[in-house]
Chains A and B, each alone.
Chain A
């Protein structure tokens, strides 16, 4: 049965219109509201506000803390991308190629952090890093490495690197599953052919597995970058509150501090606009560098 044009458009409208309405309400409206409020001097806690044009943007350019928050954000982006991707690929390959009997068990174990709230993860790791009661310092002392023990989250130099570990721990499972899906779809005949040609397992990984799961890797990297730029604020807020002395503030946590602690909502909105711009630029740059022909064998 051939659909009439009207039926086709009706079906398209049925699919698109409700989605577009929800998208407009929950994404476009807040986005443009944020942009709008960035032109105001507003505490965010009353209805009175004053239009000040680009003053907030000028202030942002002079802000000494904001450039540090950008650096912190990209530090987390880079360490998370490498940390998560290397470990997720390693575990995915191990669980699919090495024929481990307990593979389903490990799949569940590695995915477990993903079903936990980031808030719970933050609190959990705050206890793990606790200077006197925490697992990290106790473990170091147990191993005779007591001189390495330090107040991880309370040290201006170590606080930010300390946030990387829980972020990676919390992220591996999801990407491992995505990659397992990709690897499972690679036909066994490619590996058999490679083996007949004399390729060892390492060569099979580089020449067969990696090129064929590149689309999954690319999506994973983009996803990690976007979620880190937009969402690392949660773990920062829970574990350090941006401190000590702004050592762990990322753009999101600095936005929160300005908008809801210091009652500079308009300025906070300006930071939000900058996060959007930087996220867009980053994703475009990444798309450019990761462009690669789709591989078919």
Chain B
């Protein structure tokens, strides 16, 4: 188990910069005096292709960063490949070894693990060691969560620090006097109370994408039950991990929720936006999603709804909440045509200025420590609350997963998980099915 925020009392790590001070700095000016390679825009020309997925975070932050980068390097032509289906749209480019220079890996159809296995990403180990932040401190020492290493080498830099948790409507809960859960027992009590008073199934998730529940609820629960070791074992499909007592006890909690009728009876048919819509309409009270939820549903959110976020409360009483960071990385293609510009862009992006504006634009967090959001009026209240909670080790324990679960393992486990949530199998049957899926995955 690791703690990533170096000083619990400070938001997002040790050195807290004042928001006002940061707001006073022009990002363009910053970039000019900061970078090692490519600073001042000397000699950088040609075309730089950037591929980025546009999902719940929107694209306004990217537009700002790219516009600043253009100002910094006016001779460079920047081509943006973006959109919600961009991973599929660009697939033929990657297959034909003609990839864009920079890629932000996020969204359906993308897999960092697969890209590394296929040798599509450049080794960034040396580059990252040379990057410094505005205050001259090395970037590598200022990540909230360190980059993944594959055989000791770094192929991507974690740009977005997201975490899954459970959302509720704060205003509604306060008005109706519902309890905000603090552990599994109070979670069950709260859901029982809501079911009785409102006559609704209190918990909803996407049945079409069972990984929402797996990543949003079960990962933290496994962390709380067995620490990072268990979390790593279930993600890698280690022998006996899924049939272990800790996993079985966690799955029995899920079964308990199902037997109490707390899962939305129609969740099997819902995709993620439908489940989120149900939550907004108070057809359900809890939904497990990442930090992108408010941004993604901004156009449909009722005015009186106030987003509240807690780490998924699956832990036993007396234990801290568990959260599992979910990182979205930025990488450079191994076959990038303009590697110099690509490296300059990656270096340009990792700044505390942009970390602040990222939170303002997206309601989520960039993976850089020492960024103070407390006084920033443009940052949503839920994010400040979540940060305050996450930074308190008495309340929240952070568990890091080794890497994302392979789709070859996640898919069959998701299928069995949905069966469990629909009440078609027991917790015991689930762990047997999951163990069988893990065995097949290992082979």
A interface with B by C-beta (< 8 Å): 43-48, 126, 129-132, 151-156, 159, 240-241, 243-246, 257, 260-264
Contacts and interface: CB of A to CB of B under 8 A. Distances in A.
A47 B88 CA distance: 15
A253 to B, nearest CB: 12
Interface in B79-138: 88, 91, 94-97, 108-109, 111, 114-115, 117-120
Contact of B269 (A46, A159, A263): A159
B418 interface: yes
Contacts of A44: 91, 95
B411 A153 contact: no
Given A46-B94, A240-B208, A263-B114, 19 more contacts: A44-B91, A45-B95, A47-B97, A48-B119, A151-B269, A152-B269, A153-B268, A153-B269, A154-B265, A154-B269, A156-B424, A240-B269, A241-B209, A243-B207, A243-B415, A244-B269, A245-B416, A245-B422, A261-B108
Contacts of B395: none
Interface string B334-368: 00000000000000000000000000000000000
A47 B92 CA distance: 10
B293 interface: no
Nearest to B268: A154
A132 B111 contact: no
A151 B274 CA distance: 13
Interface in B264-278: 264-271, 274, 278
B408 interface: yes
Question: For chain A, what secondary structure do more than half of its interface residues adopt (helix, strand, loop), or is it mixed?
Answer: loop
B419 interface: yes
Given A132-B283, A154-B266, A244 B91 contact: no
B416 A129 contact: no
A130 B209 CA distance: 17
A156 B419 CA distance: 8
Contacts of B415: 243-246
Contacts of B297: none
A244 B411 CA distance: 12
Interface of B: 88, 91, 94-97, 108-109, 111, 114-115, 117-120, 207-210, 264-271, 274, 278, 283, 407-408, 411, 415-416, 418-419, 422, 424
A45 B94 CA distance: 6
Contact of B114 (A43, A153, A154, A257): A43
A46 B95 contact: yes
A226 B269 CA distance: 27
8 contacts: A46-B95, A47-B96, A130-B266, A154-B265, A155-B422, A244-B207, A245-B418, A261-B407
| Ranked 5 nearest A-B pairs via Cβ | A154-B268, A131-B266, A154-B269, A151-B266, A46-B118
Contacts of B408: 262, 264
Nearest to A246: B415
Contacts of A155: 268-269, 422
Given A153-B269, A260-B109, A43 B411 contact: no
A247 B308 CA distance: 35
A132 B278 contact: yes
A47 B416 contact: no
A263 to B, nearest CB: 5
Contacts of A240: 208, 269
Nearest to B119: A48
Given A45-B91, A45-B94, A131 B407 contact: no
